Structure 1
């Protein structure tokens, strides 16, 4: 994984896990990798992974069962909410970029509709 220096690594790792959840790569109830395994996979410090898991737990994206590990939420509403939030971010970024190019919102939408 390549990291963006403008955003904290733990947030980038958390967003990557969220993306895997909303795309179905990590289904509801799936066991997440151990802290050590994820640290190796993402080439980050285990303390950073712990922070990632704490962040995801505080958002309700995952939960921990003591002695068993960390698991993806089983709440389909939470997954739908994350998907909608991620889509909103992509749409806002797209529209901001188009506005910077001088397109109005309606012109940007028209161009988008023309694409196949």
Structure 2
């Protein structure tokens, strides 16, 4: 998976899970790209994608901030993200030759364990 996609997924998840709150400012591109050890153009692309997807809002001369989403918009984005995550998991599990019933039991066990807890 391309690095820009990995960073996009990470930041969007942080927004959807509340780790990044509405109104919170993201670090400047130059500073954050140095910290991540990536090309500033890569991070600029990520920020632009996040803005076009409705996760961020640009305040001229100030920077980029996490945008407040409506509950239906947030729910839709979360559903799309879950679909993508579970599709990838299903591909990996099927490639391992794991039976569907076993896979569902594993998923159910972990879902119950983590549904009300932050990621460990």
TM-score, scaled to structure 2: 0.75
Q: Which runs of 5+ in 2 are unaligned?
A: 114-120
Cα 1:74/1:68, change in 2 over 3 Å: same
Question: What RMSD in Å do the two structures reach over aligned CA positions?
Answer: 2.1
Alignment partners' CA distance in 2, 1:76 and 1:9: 29
- Report if the CA contact (8 A) 1:22-1:80 is conserved: no
Q: Which residue matches 1:61?
A: 55
Higher mean Cα deviation, 80-89 or 13-22? 80-89
Following superposition of structure 1 onto structure 2, how do residues 11-90 of structure 1 map, counting pairs within 5 Å? 11-77=5-71, 78-90=73-85
Cα 1:37/1:80, change in 2 over 3 Å: farther
Per-residue Cα deviation, 1:30-81 (whole angstroms, up to 9, x for no partner): 1111111211221112222211111111111111011111111111434333
How many corresponding residue pairs?
Answer: 110
Alignment partners' CA distance in 1, 2:18 and 2:109: 29
Alignment partners' CA distance in 1, 2:3 and 2:93: 28
Q: Which runs of 5+ in 1 are unaligned?
A: 1-6
